[in-house]
């Protein structure tokens, strides 16, 4: 199917690689222009290499190859003013806003008894506050359009159940559910739908690296044990039987059900 979001504009955080890049390319192939944001730098408490400016440039290339426009900016979702400026600039250049994918995120590991303060704070700032910032910056544009819209907050299966050794990630992703439920009520009068998605383990650089890879990683036993727990609940039974991880494309596929009506 093509053209399901023809002529619309989507704002995606964490768009340099992984699921964010997949969302950008898929929405572009379905007809949307893209406003992309990524930090393109390291967060000190994250135990694997994060995205680079070259990764964001690759997303730009692939969206343009799909025949759509993209405004890409290096910005930190923790910095509300910078994020708002990037989005405002994108809307000024592309003319409207219809879809929000609050996707940027990090993962790190440690028990709640021992977690360093900075590791907790970085997680809450990026994975919870960062998603609120994306929503807050977008709401005036969605309302101004007067056409409704769709907001999709990336949570995790750990937004629905607990995981030892990742309590800060689990708390932030549960927090995203509260954010989604409240935004859904507050924005319903404007015909703006708000949903959260809850991926299981997805084959992206966040987990496919030596610090966190549950299978081949050279990282510590604690990290491998924590991620191995994530891997127990697959995207689909068929994948489980085959021992496969989910791929970002499948997560983007989950957008289909949400984007189809009215967008
Ligand atoms: N990969 C998985 O197994 C998995 C499972 C469930 C949920 N998730 C969630 O999916 C989302 C996407 O993750 P992914 O798997 O594509 O990982 P990824 O590391 O490949 O991509 C995350 C992107 O977010 C960006 N980012 C991080 N902090 C940022 C900040 N402060 N400001 C702007 N950008 C920032 C990174 O630079 C990176 O490009 C995250 O919210 C993650 O928690 C991932």
**For residue 245, what pLDDT is reported?**
52
Atom of ligand 1 nearest to the CA of 201: 3
Does the pLDDT of residue 144 top 70, yes or no? yes
Q: Rounded to two decimals, what is the model's pTM?
A: 0.89
Q: Give the start-end residues of each E strand in the chain.
A: 9-13, 33-38, 70-74, 99-102, 149-154, 192-197
Cβ pair 163, 223 in contact under 8 A: no
**For residue 260, what pLDDT is reported?**
38
- Residue at 57 is within a domain: yes
- Residue at 26 is within a domain: yes
- Cβ of residue 211 lying under 6 Å from some atom of ligand 1: no
- Residue at 244 is within a domain: yes
pLDDT band for position 251 (50/70/90)? confident
d(C-alpha 8, C-alpha 114), whole Å: 46
Summary count for the chain: helices (H), strands (E): 9, 6
Mention every residue, 6+ apart, whose C-beta is less than 8 A from residue 129: 77, 78
Query: 34, 152, 150, 136: which is closest to 79 by C-alpha?
Result: 136
Tokens of 252: 């983007």
**For residue 235, what pLDDT is reported?**
36
Distance 4 CA to ligand 1 centre (A): 25
**For residue 211, what pLDDT is reported?**
81
- Residue at 259 is within a domain: no
From 57, 104, 196, the mutation candidate for ligand 1 (largest count of ligand atoms within 8 A of CB) is 104
Q: CB count, 10 Å around CB of 235?
A: 20
- Residue at 53 is within a domain: yes
Structurally, how many domains does the chain consist of? 1
Q: What is the pLDDT of residues 181-239, one digit of tens each?
A: 999 999 999 999 999 999 999 999 999 988 875 544 333 444 444 444 443 333 333 34
- Residue at 189 is within a domain: yes
Sign of CA pseudo-dihedral 232, 249, 141, 185: negative
For the annotated catalytic residues, the residue numbers are 169
Cβ pair 225, 165 in contact under 8 A: yes
If one compares 262 and 156, the residue with the highest pLDDT of the two is 156
Q: What is the pLDDT of residues 75-129, one digit of tens each?
A: 999 999 999 999 999 999 999 999 999 999 999 999 999 999 999 999 999 999 9
The domain of 110 spans: 9-253
- Residue at 39 is within a domain: yes
pLDDT averaged over every residue in the chain: 87
> Closest Cα to atom 28, ligand 1: which residue?
105
**For residue 249, what pLDDT is reported?**
67
- Residue at 103 is within a domain: yes
**For residue 156, what pLDDT is reported?**
98
- The CATH number linked to 139 is 3.40.50.720
Distance 126 CA to ligand 1 centre (A): 10
């Amino acid at each position: 199917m093509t053209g399901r979001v023809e002529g619309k504009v989507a704002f995606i955080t964490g768009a340099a690689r992984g699921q964010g890049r997949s969302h950008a390319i898929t929405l572009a192939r379905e007809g949307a222009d893209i406003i992309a944001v990524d930090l393109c730098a390291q967060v000190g408490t994250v135990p694997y290499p994060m995205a680079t400016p070259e990764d964001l440039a690759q997303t730009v290339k692939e969206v343009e190859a799909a025949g759509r426009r993209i405004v890409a900016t290096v910005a930190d979702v923790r910095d509300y003013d910078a994020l708002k400026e990037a989005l405002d600039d994108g809307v000024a250049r592309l003319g409207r806003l219809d879809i929000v994918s609050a996707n940027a995120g990090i993962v790190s590991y440690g028990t709640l008894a021992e977690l360093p303060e900075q590791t907790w704070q970085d997680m809450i700032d990026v994975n919870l506050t960062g998603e609120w910032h994306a929503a807050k910056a977008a709401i005036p544009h969605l309302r101004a359009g007067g056409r409704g819209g769709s907001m999709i907050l990336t949570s995790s299966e750990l937004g629905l159940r607990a995981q030892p050794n990742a309590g800060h990630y689990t708390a932030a992703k549960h927090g995203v559910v509260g954010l989604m439920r409240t935004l859904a009520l507050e924005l319903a009068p404007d015909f703006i739908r708000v949903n959260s998605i809850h991926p299981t383990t997805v084959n992206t650089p966040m987990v496919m690296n030596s610090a966190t890879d549950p299978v081949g990683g050279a990282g510590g036993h604690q990290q491998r044990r924590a991620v191995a727990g994530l891997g127990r609940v697959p995207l689909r039974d068929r994948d489980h039987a085959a021992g496969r991880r989910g791929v970002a494309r499948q997560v983007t596929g989950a957008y289909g059900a949400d984007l189809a009506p009215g967008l």
